[in-house]
Amino acid sequence: MARTLYDWEDATMVAAPEVTFPELPSGPSVRVRGTFRKNRRRLFGRRMAEFIRYAIYSPDVGCLVIMTAIGSKLAVDEVAAP
Residue-wise DSSP of 10-72: SEEESSPPEEE--EETTEEEEEEEEEEEESS-BTTB--EEEEEEEEEEETTTTEEEEEEEEES
Which residues lie closer than 8 Å to 26 by C-beta, 6 or more apart?
56, 58, 60, 82
pLDDT digits (tens, 9 = 90+) for 39-68: 666 666 667 788 888 999 988 888 888 888
Q: Residues 7-16: pLDDT tens digits?
A: 667 677 788 8
